[in-house]
Amino acid sequence: FSSTMARFNLEGDEIKPLTICLISGGCFIGSHLCEKILADTFHKVIVVDVYTDKIIHLFNRSSPWLDRIVFHNVDNNAESSRLEPFMQKSDIIINLTSINHPADYNTRTMDTIYCNFIDAVPVVRYCTRKKKRLIQFSSCEVYGKTIGSFLTEDHPLREDPKFYVLKEDESPCILGPTEKKRWANACAKQLIERLIYGREVNCSIYVFLLFVLFVTLSLTLHLSSNAAESAKFGLEFTIVRPFNWIGPRIDYIPGIDGERRGVPRVFACFSSNLLRGESLELVEGGHSKRTFCYIKDAIEALLLMIENPEKANGHSFNVGNPNNEVSMKELANLMIEVYANVSGQPASNFSTVDVSSEDFYGIGYDDCDRRIPDMTLIHRQLGWIPMTSLQEILEVTLRYQHETYSEAVKHATSES
């Protein structure tokens, strides 16, 4: 990408070079976002994190973009003021900080609430005070269960999309009881969303009152005014609700690049089972359904948000792929088929086994039955459509898993 080449946004305005602060930018999403920004734009990135393993390749001495990326080793949950110097230098702050593995919601409930709500509050406050644009990561978890899940199995309304498609500005957020700790994440993310909306609304009321006063004065004094200026005073925000993004570098493989007993999300769990030749474990028979979105499609959506503030500000966006819905049982069988091809082993080497949620996650687990994102808003505002089929995502990502981990898994297995 040539830095002298002009780039234009959806409204035909020339895009100016930005400095983007990625809080917890060393994560799976951050690593892909950095790659995209560095390869396809002229923006600069300030990455703040304590982890570098997923982004280390970007700091190769021969990389052409070394003057556009900087890493700061800062633990952002220790003290929020430590983030301020980096946010201050930036035009946009993207807060990726999140605990987003369901196994952690049960076992690290307090950490989940602190990380996903309490630690995000100072960032929201700073952005409001200093008038910095904020892109805050939330989660599709905020929707909880679908309305349809409360109907009997054979109820005809279960087929009605109104009962299961999740729409940003219409669907209710249906969480389970407090004793089901699974919902700690959904609740914390919902609260940070509500805080952000509150900031905007409060500011808007304030700005509206100022605006009314200004117009009254202008009319009285026959002054002309530029009303659009008033919009500048609210918190400029965009909220992202990712729907099961997957791709290379997702999560970790327990005992290889993560804690031995850790439980990552389903794609990494099934990958680990495949790499080790273990049965893929289907929680409660694997009837729950998810829609999977390729990380590179999702990153396109993020870049559109970054470069089109007029279209993205003030919205919570679903970012997912409604065409890629599968039950966990179907996912397991598809992954077995694809992995057999990738690894050159017969599919009959692999199998699935049913496990109870209590055995797998412990007490306090609960589940979302289905997650289909409505795409109307993101398509209308940003023209974004996810392109990659589940089959393609699995082929690319399982090839990556095999190439990255199979030797290390063999080594670890022979040692134990």
* Nearest CB to ligand UDP, comparing residues 207 and 338: 338
Give me the long-range contacts of 145-152 (CB less than 8 A, separation at least 24): 145/174, 145/175, 145/176, 145/368, 145/369, 146/174, 146/368, 146/369, 146/370, 147/171, 147/172, 147/174, 148/369, 148/370, 149/369, 149/370
Q: Does 320 engage in binding with ligand UDP (CB under 6 A)?
A: no
Q: Which residues contact 227 (CB under 8 A, 6 or more apart)?
A: 211, 215
Q: Does 265 engage in binding with ligand UDP (CB under 6 A)?
A: yes
- Selected from 269, 299, 302, 382, the binder of ligand UDP by CB under 6 A is 269
* Nearest CB to ligand UDP, comparing residues 128 and 139: 139
Q: Which of residues 64-103 bind ligand UDP (CB under 6 A)?
A: 102
* Nearest CB to ligand UDP, comparing residues 156 and 177: 177
133-137 β-sheet, strand order = 69-73, 44-49, 19-23, 92-95, 133-137, 237-242, 315-319
Q: Does 234 engage in binding with ligand UDP (CB under 6 A)?
A: no
Secondary structure tally for the chain: helices H, strands E: 13, 15
Q: Does 367 engage in binding with ligand UDP (CB under 6 A)?
A: yes
* Nearest CB to ligand UDP, comparing residues 98 and 308: 98
Phi-psi region of 287 (alpha: psi -120 to 50; beta: other; left: phi over 0): alpha
**Positive or negative CA dihedral for 162, 164, 168, 172?**
positive
Binding mask 98-137 for ligand UDP (x = CB under 6 A): ----x-----------------------------------
Burial of 255 (C-beta count, 10 Å sphere; 0-12/13-18/19+): middle
Q: How far is the CB of 99 from ligand UDP (least distance, A)?
A: 11
* Nearest CB to ligand UDP, comparing residues 55 and 283: 283
Near ligand UDP by CB under 6 A, which window of 88-96, 206-214, 278-286, 318-326? 278-286
Q: Does 38 engage in binding with ligand UDP (CB under 6 A)?
A: no
Asked whether the beta carbons of 328 and 283 are under 8 A apart, the reply is yes
Q: Does 31 engage in binding with ligand UDP (CB under 6 A)?
A: no
Q: Does 288 engage in binding with ligand UDP (CB under 6 A)?
A: yes
Q: Does 244 engage in binding with ligand UDP (CB under 6 A)?
A: yes
- Selected from 93, 135, 328, 335, the binder of ligand UDP by CB under 6 A is 328
Q: How far is the CB of 352 from ligand UDP (least distance, A)?
A: 9
Closest listed residue to residue 187, CA positions, set 175, 197, 198, 170: 175
Q: What are the φ/ψ torsions at residue 325 (nearest 5 degrees)?
A: -85, 135
Q: How far is the CB of 102 from ligand UDP (least distance, A)?
A: 5
- Count of CA atoms in the C-beta half-sphere (13 A) of 295: 20
Q: How far is the CB of 79 from ligand UDP (least distance, A)?
A: 29
Near ligand UDP by CB under 6 A, which window of 54-62, 89-97, 196-204, 277-285? 277-285
* Nearest CB to ligand UDP, comparing residues 72 and 180: 180
Q: What is the C-alpha separation between 298 and 304, in angstroms, rounded?
A: 10
How many chain residues touch ligand UDP (CB under 6 A)? 14
Q: How far is the CB of 78 from ligand UDP (least distance, A)?
A: 27
Q: What is the C-alpha separation between 24 and 26, in angstroms, rounded?
A: 6
Q: What is the C-alpha separation between 341 and 343, in angstroms, rounded?
A: 6
Distance of CA 207 to the CA centre of its chain: 31
- Selected from 283, 304, 306, 336, the binder of ligand UDP by CB under 6 A is 283
Q: How far is the CB of 178 from ligand UDP (least distance, A)?
A: 19
- Selected from 92, 99, 282, 302, the binder of ligand UDP by CB under 6 A is 282
Q: Does 248 engage in binding with ligand UDP (CB under 6 A)?
A: no
Instruction: Determine how many CB atoms are found less than 10 A away from the CB of residue 47.
Output: 29
* Nearest CB to ligand UDP, comparing residues 72 and 265: 265
* Nearest CB to ligand UDP, comparing residues 124 and 338: 338
Tokens of 83: 């983030």
Scan for tokens 């734009």, then name that residue. 41
Which amino acid is it at 224?
A: S
For ligand UDP, the binding residues (CB under 6 A) are 102, 244, 265-266, 269, 281-283, 286, 288, 290, 328, 367-368
